[in-house]
């Protein structure tokens, strides 16, 4: 094979007015749509024409490659800090992905925007993301107790381990302590009743958000070790 001794880069940048169906796509989707639109006419035509023109200067093309880059400049950009606060269960990569994907149809009202982003986050990831924790509360006999459990980062639910499912906690407790991690994180949860699966305990998502970085570090460490 003939070895090349020169490299040529011809760079064009096009400002496009794309329809909403294209402009609202995420980056991989937008790039693929534009690649499909350009098709063989561009990707085969450009090397062919270039080969003919360069031959006039006694230059022979011995190889070529192409790269497509595209981004939507019209779409609103979602603040990653806001996205992380409404969905602390998402990883950094998932937050960035959703910031771009959700921008096109994001409502203007702050309250509606938070609700919209929360729905989008759960549509992306709604499975359990569990971290071991301890529940510190009072039993129905008003004795202090510690229950082994798991905190679900996705919705703030606390699932007690099987050996504690029959434990009855004092009704009306609105400040159940949830302890996890090292250094220890203390969260406040509410008790709303009992089922066959044990006490119904949940931490508000707003209470998880300030601890997101450490919770994500614990989750990542668990995924690697698990």
Q: End of a domain among 93, 108, 124?
A: 124
**Which residue in 91, 86, 81, 93 sits closest to 119, CA to CA?**
86
Rg of the chain (C-alpha set): 27
**2 part of a folded domain:** no
Are residues 138 and 118 part of one domain? no
DSSP-assigned letter for residue 105: G
Q: End of a domain among 124, 156, 191?
A: 124
Which token pair is 32? 């693929």
Interatomic CA distance for residues 88 and 4, integer angstroms: 51
| pLDDT bracket for residue 115 (50, 70, 90) | very high
DSSP-assigned letter for residue 103: G
Q: What's the pLDDT tens digit per position in 47-62? A: 899 999 999 999 999 9
Are residues 162 and 212 part of one domain? yes
Q: Are 150 and 133 in contact (CB under 8 A)?
A: yes
Q: What's the pLDDT tens digit per position in 1-52? A: 567 889 888 888 888 888 878 877 777 888 899 999 999 998 888 989 999 9
φ and ψ at residue 56, rounded to 5 degrees: -65, -25
Are residues 42 and 20 part of one domain? yes
**1 part of a folded domain:** no
What average pLDDT does the segment 124-139 reach? Answer: 95
CATH of the domain at 221: 2.40.10
Are residues 45 and 86 part of one domain? no
**100 part of a folded domain:** yes
Are residues 219 and 136 part of one domain? yes
Q: Which domain holds residue 190?
A: 130-225
Q: What is the pLDDT of residue 27?
A: 79
| pLDDT bracket for residue 73 (50, 70, 90) | low
Percent of the chain at pLDDT above 90? 62
């Amino acid at each position: 094979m003939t070895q090349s001794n020169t490299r040529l880069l011809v760079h064009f940048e096009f400002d496009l007015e794309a329809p909403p169906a294209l402009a609202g796509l995420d980056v991989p989707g937008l790039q693929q749509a534009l690649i499909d639109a350009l098709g063989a006419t561009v990707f085969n035509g450009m090397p062919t024409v270039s080969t003919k023109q360069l031959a006039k200067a006694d230059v022979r093309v011995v190889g070529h490659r192409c790269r497509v880059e595209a981004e939507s400049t019209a779409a609103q950009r979602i603040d990653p800090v806001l996205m992380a606060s409404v969905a602390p269960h998402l990883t950094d990569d998932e937050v960035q992905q959703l910031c771009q994907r959700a921008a096109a149809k994001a409502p203007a009202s702050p309250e509606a925007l938070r609700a919209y982003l929360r729905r989008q986050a759960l549509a992306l990831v709604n499975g359990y993301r569990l971290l071991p924790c301890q529940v510190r509360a009072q039993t129905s006999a008003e004795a202090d107790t510690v229950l082994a459990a798991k905190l679900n980062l996705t919705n703030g639910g606390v699932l007690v381990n099987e050996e504690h499912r029959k434990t009855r906690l004092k009704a009306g407790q609105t400040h159940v302590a949830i302890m996890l991690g090292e250094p220890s994180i203390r969260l406040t949860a509410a008790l709303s009743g009992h089922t066959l699966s044990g006490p119904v305990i949940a931490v508000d998502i707003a209470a998880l958000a300030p601890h997101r970085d450490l919770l994500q570090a614990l989750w990542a460490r668990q995924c690697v070790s698990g």
